[in-house]
Amino acid sequence: MTERERIRELYGKGQLPPEEYAPLIDERNPEEAEYLFSLARERCHAVFGDEVYLRAIIEFSNYCASDCNYCGIRRSNGKAERYRMSREAILTCAGRAHSFGFRTVVLQSGEDPAYSDEEICGIVRDIRREFPEMAVTLSIGEKSRESYQRYYDAGADRYLLRHETASFSLYKRLKPANQLLENRIRCLLDLKSIGYQVGAGMMLGAPYQQTDDLVQDLLFLRQLQPEMIGIGPFIPHKDTPFRDFPAGTVELTLFMLGVLRLMFPEALIPATTALGTLDPKGREKGILAGANVIMPNVSPVENRGKYLLYDGKICTGEDAAMCSACMERRMAAIGRTISRSRGDAPGWEKKDRAAGC
């Protein structure tokens, strides 16, 4: 058996030792990638069947107190047109998503201190009361453990907080000096221990990123064991310090999706909008590489074009009805069906919650 055959057999069984991660990534080729994707699809099918879960994203504020070098809504970008949605507007938007069959709503914003914990809890409680069969995912950045606990007690089930990179040196180049990887990791560990389904993930093809950084991501994810893993290619935004760096590639993103599916057979892994931005069939390719979640944007159309973390973002014009129908068609074309369930991580059950905020 050749060395490559040995590696193929090990990753087919999900038993690749960490020292093989770098050669796996560096020496990938189209034939190996296809083999990897076929294994990833099999593994995904064994756990989830042909179903793909939909998550309705509501981007409710594009204010951000942070200043990440890659992000179009960073604090220093004076050209970003800012908006905030009211509690009532968010509830209306969640209601529309519910009426089109979405059973998870993802509330996403920059690091916006204008929303107090009480307000976030109130929004979560409103949605859970009006639409009890809907899961609520939060994606609102780094908070204290106490805040995370309050949101959980109010009814939030999942929390997305991409670690972006597990490499301390790369993190410093991507993030402002006052944002530390140690705190990001602390947040993720707090979220896990509270009982959330936790989503981490990294950017692929980020400026200065090396293979070793990706190896550190895989090792970190192996330790964290997140229920959700979101990865996407870096795409430059014209009003950021990283405007002149080349975008990451669809090819590497798909390859890493396949690797992650084999490492985490039960994880909820989205084929992200960024993938669809770089390639019109990017999301379909992501599903065929091992992803099993699609996250359409259902924010009010007038805000869509303002939540631009990167240039060229797709789906800034359609409303929730069109998104839902479009995804259904796209998934049917590749032999997948859209699940109308909440789509929790296998085996996850909510720990008893306290009285709420």
Interaction site with ligand SF4 (CB under 6 A): 64, 66-68, 71, 73-74, 110-111, 141, 309
CA atoms within 13 A on the CB side of 166: 20
Minimum distance of ligand SF4 from residue 256's CB (angstroms):
20
Smallest distance, ligand SF4 to C-beta of residue 318, A: 23
Buried b (16+ CB within 10 A) or exposed e, 61-75: bbbbebbbbbbbbbb
* Minimum gap (Å) between residue 310 Cβ and ligand SF4: 10
Q: Considering beta carbons, is residue 184 or 261 the nearer one to ligand SF4?
A: 184
**Closer to ligand SF4 by Cβ: residue 111 or 190:** 111
Burial of 97 (0-12, 13-18, 19+ CB in 10 A): buried
* Closer residue to ligand SF4 (CB): 73 or 121: 73
Nearer to ligand SF4, 110 or 258 (CB): 110
Smallest separation, CB 125 to ligand SF4 (Å): 25
Residue closer to ligand SF4 by CB (options 234, 255) is 234
d(CA 202, CA 145): 22
Q: How far apart are CA 290 and CA 261, in angstroms?
A: 6
Least CB distance from residue 316 to ligand SF4, whole Å?
17
Q: At 315, list the tokens.
A: 């789906």
Q: How many CB atoms lie within 10 A of CB 79?
A: 7
In angstroms, what is the minimal distance from the CB of 65 to ligand SF4?
7
Tokens 């109130």 correspond to what residue? Answer: 122
Minimum Å distance from CB 147 to ligand SF4?
16
CB of 337 closer than 8 Å to CB of 306: no
At residue 256, the 3 state secondary structure works out as helix
Give the residue with the Cβ less far from ligand SF4, 150 or 237. 237
Phi, psi dihedrals of residue 311, rounded to the nearest 5°: -80, 150
> 254 vs 309, which CB is nearer to ligand SF4?
309
| Amino acid occupying residue 208 | Y
Give the separation between CA 41 and CA 37, rounded to whole angstroms.
6
CB 62 within 8 A of CB 306: yes
Q: What single string gives the DSSP state of each residue in 70-103?
A: T-TT-TT-TTS---B--HHHHHHHHHHHHHTT--
Least Å distance between CB 319 and ligand SF4?
Answer: 24
Instruction: Using the minimum distance from each CB to ligand SF4, give the nearer residue, 21 or 234.
Output: 234
For residue 164, give the nearest of 221, 120, 123 by alpha carbon: 221
